[in-house]
């Protein structure tokens, strides 16, 4: 399958879905799905619609039933969103019939979709990428504040008896409420499970997989999310995680058998090319290394991670380190401007040339 076929989407702006949702623009192409901005005529609001890439429909990829996965994602997301501000609100779901060109032929396809609250702000992935591009390190106060917001969202999911299982920067959204306050919402709960469920699918993303997630048949456990949370904090601090591998096997090996370096490690001749920060709060390094323990039983609970982060923030406040502008009032380069989308340019070109679905 060509990249063009994978990225192609048969909706033109103006297409009406289920007589109610009017397609406006693409927001992003993720690993498996398309996310669109649509206008909800009845709710009179912008919202986001998520559906699967036509080229990944089970008719072409029978090994993985993405239609079923998306249906489960909608049910889990809706369950999690009840009385819970830490995930997007879910509005409606269903099936869209489309004509799509896949593997050189046109097919009638039923694509599952759901619509949800359109979040305002940016993902942790974008924050980390921009920091890396600009070769700027986030100040410690910002690292700790962002980590706290994220840990609160993870805790909210765990308190409802769920394990997210795909915690990574692109699934962590720093959302700005209408009153200007900010919170993290976790998105993309496609492979989330109830705590204790036996897992059929392994880790969501190898780079953020806990050691046990590479072993078949393990049960969903908050320790797996906490491991991934620690990796996210590590990346916020250093722009990169403790392990760099070329493929799934490389990550499986690293997560299972290699001890992660601490973030304060003093640069040596070999490590000089890598970035460590000897000025990091020692308690932060301590909690990260414990959360990155190979054995789930050795990792701190989500509550303990949150307590540790609160403690570090209190100390920084006592010592007069001010809250940092990066997340309280982000500079222009961190926030999407009105009308701006994070969609890759290549995809934007393709979608612009597509006809409206009949
Ligand atoms: N409700 C939303 N509001 C705004 N942007 C969103 C929303 N949901 C997803 N996105 C954007 O779309 C991207 C892909 O969404 P995601 O659900 O993670 O799809 P995938 O399953 O393909 O990874 C996210 O990283 C985020 O940038
Ligand atoms: Mg995602």
Percentage of residues of the chain with pLDDT beyond 70 = 83
Banded pLDDT at 134 (limits 50, 70, 90): confident
Of 130, 157, 145, 132, nearest in space to 241 by CA: 132
Residues lining ligand 1, Cβ inside 6 A: 27-28, 30-33, 35, 48, 50, 88, 116-119, 123, 170-171, 187-188, 190, 342
- To test the pocket of ligand 1, the residue of 46, 185, 188, 341 to mutate (highest count of ligand atoms within 8 Å of its CB) is 188
Helix, strand, or coil (residue 216) = coil
- To test the pocket of ligand 1, the residue of 7, 29, 30, 335 to mutate (highest count of ligand atoms within 8 Å of its CB) is 30
- The pLDDT tens digits for 169-208 are 999 999 999 999 999 999 998 888 898 887 766 667 899 9
Lowest mean pLDDT among 44-48, 79-83, 243-247, 274-278: 274-278
Please report which helix (H) or strand (E) contains residue 183, including its range: strand 182-186
Domains defined for the chain, CATH in brackets: 10-117 (3.30.200.20), 121-318 (1.10.510.10)
Of 177, 174, 176, nearest in space to 185 by CA: 174
Distance CA 115, CA 117 (A): 7
Ligand located closest to 38 CA:
1
pLDDT at 259: 94
Question: Between 269 and 296, where is the model more confident?
Answer: 296
Strand 193-194 with 162-163, pairing: antiparallel
Of 207, 252, 245, 259, nearest in space to 228 by CA: 207
Structure-block tokens of residue 187: 């998105």
Tell me if 9 sits within 8 A of 354, measured CB to CB: yes
Banded pLDDT at 274 (limits 50, 70, 90): low
Ligand located closest to 167 CA:
2
- The pLDDT tens digits for 137-173 are 899 999 999 999 999 999 999 999 999 999 999 999 9
- The DSSP line for 272-341 is GGS---TTS-HHHHHHHHHHT-SSGGGSPPHHHHHHHHHHHHHHHHHTTPPPPHHHHS--GGGSPPTT--
Tell me if 281 sits within 8 A of 140, measured CB to CB: yes
Ligand 2 mean position to 34 CA, how many Å?
Answer: 10
Q: Residue 331: pLDDT above 50?
A: no
- The pLDDT tens digits for 305-328 are 999 999 999 999 998 876 654 444
Distance CA 262, CA 209 (A): 18
Distance CA 94, CA 176 (A): 28
């Amino acid at each position: 399958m060509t990249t063009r076929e994978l990225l192609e989407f048969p909706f033109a702006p103006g297409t009406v879905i289920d007589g109610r949702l009017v397609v406006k623009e693409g927001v992003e192409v993720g690993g498996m799905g398309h996310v669109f901005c649509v206008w909800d005529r009845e709710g009179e609001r912008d919202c986001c619609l998520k559906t699967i890439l036509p080229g990944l429909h089970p008719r072409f990829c029978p090994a993985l039933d993405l239609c079923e996965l998306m249906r489960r994602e909608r049910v889990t997301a809706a369950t999690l969103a009840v009385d819970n501000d830490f995930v997007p609100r879910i509005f409606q779901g269903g099936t869209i019939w489309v004509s799509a060109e896949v593997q050189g032929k046109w097919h009638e396809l039923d694509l599952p979709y759901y619509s949800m609250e359109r979040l305002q702000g940016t993902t942790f992935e974008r924050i980390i990428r921009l920091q890396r591009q600009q070769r700027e390190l986030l100040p410690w106060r910002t690292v700790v504040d962002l980590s706290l917001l994220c840990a609160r969202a993870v805790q909210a999911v765990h308190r409802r008896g769920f394990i997210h299982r795909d915690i990574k920067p692109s699934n962590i959204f720093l959302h700005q409420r209408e009153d200007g306050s900010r919170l993290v919402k976790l998105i993309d709960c496609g492979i989330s499970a109830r705590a204790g469920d036996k897992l059929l699918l392994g880790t969501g993303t190898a780079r953020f997989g806990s050691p046990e997630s590479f072993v078949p048949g393990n049960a969903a456990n908050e320790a797996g999310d906490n491991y991934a949370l620690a990796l996210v904090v590590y990346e916020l601090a250093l722009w990169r995680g403790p392990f760099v591998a070329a493929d799934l096997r490389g990550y499986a090996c690293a997560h299972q058998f290699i001890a992660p370096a601490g973030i304060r490690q003093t640069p040596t001749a070999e490590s000089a090319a890598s970035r460590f920060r000897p000025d990091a709060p020692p308690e932060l390094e301590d909690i990260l290394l414990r959360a990155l323990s190979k054995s789930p039983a050795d990792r701190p609970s989500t509550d303990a991670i949150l307590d540790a982060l609160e403690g570090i923030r209190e100390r920084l406040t006592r010592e007069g380190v001010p809250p940092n502008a990066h997340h309280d009032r982000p500079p222009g380069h961190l926030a999407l401007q009105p009308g701006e989308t994070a969609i890759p340019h290549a995809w934007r070109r393709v979608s612009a040339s597509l006809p409206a679905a009949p």
